[in-house]
Amino acid sequence: ADTILSVRDLSTRFFTEEGQVNAVESVSFDVEDGEIFGIVGESGSGKSVTALSVIDLIESPGRVTQGEIWYRNADLAEEFRGSKPDAVDGDLVDIRRLPEGVRRSLRGPSFSMVFQDPMSSFNPSITVGEQIAEAVEVQRRARSNPRSTRSRTQGYGLASLIRDSLLPSKSYVDDESMDRAVELLDQVGIPDPEDRAEEYPHQFSGGMLQRAMIAQALAGEPDVLIADEPTTALDVTIQAQILNLLRDLQEQEGMSILMITHDLGVIARMCDRVGVMYAGEVVERGPLADIFENPVHPYTQGMLGSIPDVDDPSGRLEPISGNVPSLLDSEMPDACYFADRCPKAMTDCLTRIPEYELDGRHSVRCVLAEQEFDPSDAVDSVDG
């Protein structure tokens, strides 16, 4: 499959009063057409910040400080080939090098996002149907005149982050958009969608509102749907239904999904490939079967230790003794970030560890990979 999104060496920092926080450190991964790529890690490991960095929603005092985000889009590549040659490689564009208005216009038709808490993602005073119709409308305008939306500040489907400050409290949508909204509600399995469209968010159950948020995220027909802990707030039965829905939609629409979760059960059930994050780094990355059956990084091994059955959807990350290191730059060790907690730590670990590629699809940031495999396979080097 072709790559729709290729994140290279991405770092995101927060410049706080306590100092510089290295929330995401040299993260690389690809998302292919029609696949579900999972990012799994404990809370605070940098997975949400990675997702927000991709979709350009990091806010001050945070900033993406390095890296490339290549996105396959032939139209954009054509448009910028002459004026921004560094931003174009074949059909790929490096989003970070595109003008801000263009980056913003990608939210919806290119990337859309589903969050953990649907209630805070909807405006309580506008009907659900209207809010989805509004997203449809913006998308329709974008299609009929791509340039007209380039300066828009609305990012539908990202409602919780921007709706409050940017959208009017009352929206005006036409019948055609409303019809499409009803269709979308139907598509995500909401019964009586015409009636439900007229209702307000508080009239929806958590699961139904999560479906509605997914409908809103689909309004732009995104290439990549980013789902950040999309089922964490829901009870187990509803979780399973929402995961099935996402999987069905992914197949129907042929889109890719970037699934962010702390839940290994969700990963096992949904994902084709997975990246394991620890302390802001992707420590291991590869096809699901490689990660679950042949984990090389001691963190991955430890995390999987508590899962007797990978098909058990209730599997959670095992608490590994010790603490996640501070992500304050001044306190980050000049060593493997996992060294404090690693049962296999040795003197070789007291240096920064590069990422080793084992067989072209499975990569590991650990000296064990170097010992086990040919060191000349190292795919990147670490600064400093």
Residue 298 near ligand SF4 by CB under 6 A: yes
Residue 41 near ligand SF4 by CB under 6 A: no
Cβ neighbors of 142 (< 8 A, separation 6 or more) are 105, 108, 109, 148, 149, 220
Cα 355 from Cα 376, distance rounded (Å): 12
Applying CB under 5 A, which of residues 48, 73, 210, 216 lies at the interface with Mg ion?
48
48 binds, among ligand SF4, Mg ion, none (CB under 5 to 8 A by kind): Mg ion
> Which amino acid is it at 90?
G
Query: Applying CB under 6 A, what is the total number of residues that bind ligand SF4?
Result: 13
CB 108 within 8 A of CB 219: yes
Choose between 155 and 230: whose C-beta lies nearer to Mg ion. 230
> Which amino acid is it at 119?
M
Which phi and psi (to 5°) does residue 319 adopt? -70, 125
Radius of gyration (Cα) for the chain, nearest Å? 21
The mark string for 342-361 relative to ligand SF4 (x by CB under 6 A, - otherwise) is x-xx---x---x--------
Cβ 183 to Mg ion shortest distance, Å:
31
Cβ 57 to Mg ion shortest distance, Å:
13
Which phi and psi (to 5°) does residue 40 adopt? -120, 145
316 binds, among ligand SF4, Mg ion, none (CB under 5 to 8 A by kind): none
345 binds, among Mg ion, ligand SF4, none (CB under 5 to 8 A by kind): ligand SF4
Cβ 48 to Mg ion shortest distance, Å:
3
Cα 84 from Cα 94, distance rounded (Å): 10
Angle at 208 between CA 203 and CA 209, to 5 degrees: 70
Cα 341 from Cα 332, distance rounded (Å): 14
350 binds, among Mg ion, ligand SF4, none (CB under 5 to 8 A by kind): none
Cβ 40 to ligand SF4 shortest distance, Å:
16
Residue 173 near ligand SF4 by CB under 6 A: no
Angle at 223 between CA 217 and CA 227, to 5 degrees: 50
Name the site residues for ligand SF4 (rule: CB under 6 A).
297-298, 336, 338-339, 342, 344-345, 349, 353, 366-368
